[in-house]
A and B are shown apart, each in its own frame.
Chain A
């Protein structure tokens, strides 16, 4: 079974530029998550989709971050304009509904804002 796919793996941009990350969840997983992990901290949920609807985006900085999951499969997370404090790993994850809440993560997209 293929895992959660993310791209690009690494990105370096200047502040105020924009960046987009892509995620393809495990086939059949209805729930998709974007987490942000800053160095030395645990992952923090940015947004959760169920199929193509948003379940929770309470911690998404909506003035600069946006995410979409068209057709209920893959998803894109965009940051515009980027700030220095956005330097982090952006982890996409997916899960089946009612599978004991086990969430499976991709390898992450590492963003450095300079």
Chain B
């Protein structure tokens, strides 16, 4: 049962344009969502998170949007840079759980 889904295995975006990565979830108990970035041969690195009490969180070039009614979140990267090329994982958890459930990842390639 895949509770967190990333339906696009890969995405290519021109440098300088906006990258939009999508994530859907099915478990209504989830109330905290995170995005991790992973380079080859490295562990995932925390990027940005959002609590269910918000619908948007911004950190520099990265913005995460949460639509609770649709059980959908997205990560926007603008402008996209070559160093953003990586695999991005969406993860979710809920208060008191401390266990992350991950999606399958989206490989983002930024084209110079």
Contacts and interface: CB of A to CB of B under 8 A. Distances in A.
B32 A101 contact: yes
A102 B103 contact: no
B112 interface: no
Interface stretch (B12-20, B40-48, B64-72, B76-84): B40-48
A105 B44 contact: yes
Interface residues of B, number: 25
Nearest to A45: B99
Interface string A21-45: 0000000000101000000111111
A43 B98 contact: no
Contacts of A33: 99
A41 B4 CA distance: 12
A70 to B, nearest CB: 21
B104 A101 contact: no
B100 interface: yes
B43 A103 contact: no
B44 A91 contact: yes
Interface in B23-46: 32, 34, 36, 41-46
Interface of B: 4, 6, 32, 34, 36, 41-46, 49, 51, 89, 91, 93, 97-105
Interface of A: 4, 6, 31, 33, 40-45, 48, 55-56, 91, 93, 95, 97, 100-108, 110
21 contacts: A41-B104, A41-B105, A42-B6, A42-B89, A42-B102, A42-B104, A42-B105, A45-B100, A95-B98, A100-B32, A100-B49, A101-B32, A101-B49, A101-B98, A102-B34, A102-B46, A102-B49, A103-B46, A105-B44, A105-B45, A108-B42
